[in-house]
Amino acid sequence: MPDFTILHNPRCGTSRNVLQFLRDAGIEPEIIEYLQTPPDRQRLREIAAASGQPLRALVRAKEPIHAQLGLDDPAVDDEQLLDAMLTHPVLINRPIVLAGGRARLCRPSETVLEFIQTVRG
């Protein structure tokens, strides 16, 4: 079985729920508290590519800093988004689960169940 990793914020209810779903499925993932240990620029690019989603899909638009930085402007490119995410890790949406060369933003929490099935085959 592939190793699972979760980019986790223990203060986030959705993130805690996803971690519990993983554990209930018999998976003890590597837990990366991304606010303490944020991924670097290349890793964020890799996560976006593995998710099959544009980088913008991994940006947490609900954070006040998102609007303050004008990140909702479609003219903001991936490099600018990456700069913002690296400077303000709170802009990295969560929880993101990685396994088997894939990544999934697990919002709502139940999304992780389908991801587990997909990865396990």
Structural domain boundaries, residue 56: 4-120
Give the burial class of 59: count Cβ atoms within 10 A of its Cβ; 0-12 exposed, 13-18 middle, 19 or more buried: buried
Say how many domains are in the chain: 1
* pTM, entire model: 0.94
Cα separation of 48 and 103, whole Å?
8
pLDDT at 46: 97
Q: 12, 35, 76, 86: which is the annotated catalytic residue?
A: 12
Q: What is the pLDDT of residues 38-62, one digit of tens each?
A: 999 999 999 999 999 999 999 999 9
Write the CATH number for 49. 3.40.30.10
- Residue 32 contacts residue 38 (beta carbons within 8 Å): no
Confidence band, pLDDT 50/70/90 cuts, at residue 121: confident
106 is catalytic: no
